[in-house]
Amino acid sequence: MKTSKKKGLQYVPGAADDGLGFFPAITCQIAGEGVPRVRWVVHHRRRQFPTKQEALASAEAELALAFETPTLPASPERFLDHLRQRGFSELMDYKVARSFEEDRRGTLGDAFQPAFGEAAARHDPVLHAALMEMVNHQLAENDPPETRETLERLLTEGYSPEYVRRMIGLLLATELTRSMLDQKPFNQKRFIESLRRLPDIPPP
């Protein structure tokens, strides 16, 4: 935890868990009597780590970098702008586990906020596995080549391989559903256009 010279102002490193991995998170809070008052919480969704410790270390490194500029810590607003420029975004809806060591899924139960595609994996694991196998087949066969191009593009932008595969799987599911409802062949052209727009997800 880093503390500003401004009375009670604290910046706390943390790790956000989305069910697939862990992301560096930073909380700005005002310490006082009782529970600290949270000003804002940010996380870096493009930095996904397999362990909480790695995500926490990344958050601590970000704080150390920010504190090298003496004027930043005194202003939560300037500090937040700095983190946004570094790729962080605000968490508007979040819940906190009782301890860093405790698994958030076990802590929160039904209130756990699923990761991208996690709901599909939980509610219909067979369908989810089939979609992921279709994505893997497209990547292995390079058919269409735009699938691998999309994967490589998004990896260079910082997205994790699993997250990209799930985004592509969602596009496949959308096109397959449209094909069945409209009783028409799979629209390869529209699928490729959607791939090129990722990470923007087209409306259903």
Residues making up the chain, counted from first to last: 204
Is residue 59 within 8 Å of residue 43, measured between CB atoms?
no
Summarised one tens digit per residue, pLDDT across range 149-195 is: 999 999 888 888 888 888 898 899 888 888 888 888 999 999 999 99
Annotated domain spans of the chain:
2-92, 118-197
Helices (H), the chain: 52-66, 76-85, 104-108, 118-123, 125-141, 145-156, 161-182, 188-197
For residues 104 and 16, what is the distance between their CA atoms, to the nearest angstrom? 9
Span 57-76, average pLDDT: 91
For residues 110 and 125, what is the distance between their CA atoms, to the nearest angstrom? 18
CA–CA distance from 23 to each of 51, 66, 137, 188 (Å)? Answer: 9, 18, 29, 34
pTM of the model: 0.49
